[in-house]
Amino acid sequence: MTMPERSLSSRDLRAFGRLLRRFTIGLGALILAFHYFDHFGEWILAVWPYKACSEWPKSSLANAQGDVAEIAVRGCVLGLFNRQYRIRVRPADGSPAKVVVRFDPKGRPALHWLDVDRLQVDLGNVRALTPQIAQAGPIHITFIYRGANPSLD
């Protein structure tokens, strides 16, 4: 047995109207909550279980001493927005890990340990990069890149 087409369509319309009504009520309640409760936005950000932005390692390279240089990617909303590469150095002597440059590559960046306390970072062709940090604990870092000048924008 099939339902008459007209009644099915009006039922769908009614369901859609109900959905729209409830959505509007929810939105109105949310706006009122933002308006009347101080720090409601900050509270939502604090209790929200999923971080909007996250970072994941791409590759890493250790020297004989155990110092580690790594290429990491940071992005927001599953890496779709504000995607950014970072080079981080983790000295083995307990000095704090340090991001030594942030950049937007066109090709594949590469890491080379020249000896136990000298790291060479080849960023290749870049669209943008920050000024660099040339020392992390006992490690001296040199950078090779082309395509852009350092900028803090």
Bridge partners, residue 87, by sequence: 71, 101
Hey, which residues between 44 and 83 contact other proteins (CB under 8 A)?
A: 45
Interface residue with other proteins among 62, 72, 116, 133 (CB under 8 A) is: 133
Confirm or reject binding of residue 41 to other proteins (CB under 8 A): yes
d(CA 52, CA 68): 27
Token pair belonging to 99: 């991001």
Confirm or reject binding of residue 29 to other proteins (CB under 8 A): yes
Distances (CA, A) of 63 to 52, 112, 136, 139: 33, 9, 14, 11
Residues, the chain: 153
Confirm or reject binding of residue 21 to other proteins (CB under 8 A): yes
- Distance in Å, CB of 131 to other proteins, minimum: 4
Confirm or reject binding of residue 151 to other proteins (CB under 8 A): yes
Interface residue with other proteins among 13, 19, 31, 77 (CB under 8 A) is: 31
d(CA 59, CA 69): 9
Residues engaged in binding other proteins (CB under 8 A): 21-22, 24-25, 27-29, 31-32, 35, 41-42, 45, 86, 98-102, 130-133, 150-153
